[in-house]
Structure 1
Amino acid sequence: MSTATLFSGITERDWQTNDPEGTVRLALIGLGWWVREEAIPAIEQGEFCETTVVVSGSTEKAESVKQGSPTINHGLTYDEFHDGAAADAYDAVYICTPNATHLEYAETAAELGKDVLCEKPMEATVDRAERLVRTCDERDVTLMIAYRMQTEPAVRRARELIQDGFIGDTLLVQGHMSDSLLELIPDPNQWRLDPNLSGGCSLIDIGIYPLNTTRFLLDDDPTDVQGRTVSSHDAFAEVDEHATFQAAFPNGVSAIYSASHNAQGASFLKVLGSAGEITIEPIFFPWDDRELVLRKGSATDRISFEQVNQMTEEFDYFGYCLLTGIEPAPDGRHGLRDMQIIETIYESAADERWKSVPGVDR
């Protein structure tokens, strides 16, 4: 594939091959700032989903959000959702509550026969993630994990280039994501800083972005990992403030990552090969304009393109899969693998040594 071809079609949806009729009606569970400011507007911009139900711990918040959208007909409390209220008004759920509560909402959705789009990380522990996958399997409902990088056009084009041999043999991956959590959410009691609700902090919350994106780009999983976590700020006393980790992939590919919830905001992913290099920077924040940089020998191509809403792409992909009967690529088992890898990295950080990821073919 030439870079000219890549540039001309970079935002085309290669996963969409037809125009299915209808839309998937969604119940959004959890009405934090991400759902209100990112998810609801993204769904409104899309083609294949619409929000018809919102669910919150606060009746007042649910009603307020309901009043702000012409498609939302029901505002429910969590208890009302678990009781099956307004179940005829939605086809699937989007779960965006604290990590350690994803399972309970997925269980209720599955019992009601509703498909599930679950935010990443899919739970706070491997055990609960396994139960989440098992629940959806037993009830025969679709489970997709919300990895928006997998529908980001720049990432999908980079994947094609790597598969087509543009960089030669893949050798090294470098990735980073950081922000200032307490500036974004100025609450020292927020759930991300509670290990029982989050399962961790920088690594599990944002370190998962470069890790999972690498898995998608290479279509492979790491076999061994080594990690280190550091916390010095009082608010991060029980969780990781900064994390660095390495991963060994098959075929001699090495990866080096860093993540921080208390640093200058930044994000990038670089894949270096024997014949070239691909960098996407910035990459992981939906409000940043992404740029794809290709280097081969002495030549450098900087590819800018019309930006798409990453969340709209993610929701439309989910809706498209449900409307057409296609199994979404980032399914529950894919998300479970991330949980297993991250748990192993945390164990490595505690033991200060490399550890093998359980269940990965070598």
Structure 2
Amino acid sequence: MALESAFANFTRRDWERESVDGTVRVAIIGVGGFARQRALPGIADSRYCEASLLVTRSPDRTRSTAESFGVDHVVDHDAYLAGDHAGAYDAVYVATPNALHGGCVIAAAERGKHVLCEKPLEITVDRARNVVDACDDAGVTLMTAYRLQAEPAVRRTRELVRGGVVGDVVQVHGGFSNPLLEHASAGTWRLDPDLAGGGAMVDLGIYPLNTTRFVLDCDPVGVYATTHSSDDPFADVDQHVAFQLEFPNGATASCTASFDAHAGSRLQLVGTDGMISIASPFGGIVPHEMVVESGDVRMEYTGPPVDEVREEFDYFGYCVLSGTDPEPDGRDGLEDLSVIEAVYESARAGRRIDLE
């Protein structure tokens, strides 16, 4: 693969292989800050999805949001589970606290609705497997919301790796930090292990974990990890985490995540013949600043930002309309949860954990 060709038509949707008609009507389950600020605007700008119902704990307070985005129906969670307005949507987007994902997804699958579920799929592997089985039994599409898999900089990075531009990848360095309490209270569900399933690893570390698996196109065989937490409000979850993944080809990935550090993210892949670095890959709209070194050639690229949330919903809608299986499917979500459980086991035991 010629390095110069990597940046041609950088934002192309290589997954969009055929023309499809129509849109997928989506029920948004959980109308928190991310749904209001990112998901609903992304759907409004998308080609293949439209929001048709909001599911919330506070319908009265959510009606103004529904009006802003032209959503006709607002119901509470009990009404959703009871099937109210089930004819108004074709699919659901689940953005509730993690421990509530399973019930919302299974209820959708039982009604034949397709599912886009935020990561992690659930708070344990066993509970997530129930989600995957329910969607398989119902014959509906299940996509785990790894939006970076639809993001152009990450997709181009995978192409560069596959094309051998940097030789064999030997090391990956990934990190994601965010000062949680600057934009959330100490009572946030993200600090409740019963609702979140973990702390920085579950909420932030999952980004370098999944992205590394995606660009290398393989799964780790071993993990070693450490976690650290101070007193309240971080006493019950991991405030900081560092984990190293070992891959069957000998590559290693060294990753970190923190709930209590300056906001930032990075992803760098070092190969036998070169290096790829993406600026700020995980923290929002990716600026598309990349540096690629291949042998004696070095190229820097800066392109227009692309809203990866819009790309994610368009990819999901396209998969539903075209009958295409999404790459970040339920089993992709299961694999990450298996690694996350191994991270926590390693941190408790102080040793390397083998992954099946």
So what's the TM-score if we normalise by structure 1? 0.96
Partner residue, 1:67:
67
Partner residue, 2:3:
3
Partner residue, 1:200:
198
Verify the 8 A CA contact 1:55 1:62 in the aligned structure 2: no
Q: Which of the residues 305, 308, 328 maps onto 2:306?
A: 308
Identity over aligned pairs, percent? 46
3-state DSSP of counterpart to 2:249: helix
| Structure 2: stretches of 5+ with no match in the other structure | none
Quickly say closer, same or farther: Cα 1:276–1:293, change in 2 above 3 A. Answer: same
Q: Which of the residues 282, 285, 288 maps onto 1:284?
A: 282
Distance 1:290 1:128 in 2: 36
3-state DSSP of counterpart to 2:253: strand
Verify the 8 A CA contact 2:3 2:294 in the aligned structure 1: no
Q: CA deviation at 1:233?
A: 4.4
Q: CA deviation at 1:298?
A: 4.4
3-state DSSP of counterpart to 1:227: strand
Distance 2:248 2:303 in 1: 33
Distance 2:206 2:153 in 1: 18
Q: Which of the residues 319, 322, 326 maps onto 1:328?
A: 326
Partner residue, 1:27:
27
Verify the 8 A CA contact 1:30 1:96 in the aligned structure 2: yes
Partner residue, 1:124:
123
1:52 partnered with 2:57? no
Partner residue, 1:355:
353
For residues 259-298 of structure 1, the aligned pairs below 5 Å read 259-298=257-296
Name which of structure 1's ranges 149-158 and 287-296 shifts more when overlaid on structure 2: 287-296
CA offsets per residue over residues 134-168 of structure 1, 9 Å max, x none? Answer: 11111111100000110110111110110010011
For residues 125-164 of structure 1, the aligned pairs below 5 Å read 125-164=124-163
Verify the 8 A CA contact 2:286 2:305 in the aligned structure 1: no
Distance 2:331 2:106 in 1: 16
3-state DSSP of counterpart to 2:132: helix
Q: CA deviation at 1:288?
A: 4.6
3-state DSSP of counterpart to 1:320: helix
Verify the 8 A CA contact 1:179 1:262 in the aligned structure 2: yes
Distance 1:297 1:324 in 2: 41
Q: CA deviation at 1:17?
A: 1.6
Distance 1:233 1:38 in 2: 32
- The amino acid across from 1:60 in the alignment is D
- The amino acid across from 1:125 in the alignment is T
| Structure 1: stretches of 5+ with no match in the other structure | none
Partner residue, 2:243:
245
Partner residue, 1:77:
76
Distance 2:235 2:153 in 1: 37
Distance 2:181 2:89 in 1: 35
Partner residue, 2:178:
179
Partner residue, 1:338:
336
Q: Which runs of 4+ in 1 moved over 4 A?
A: none
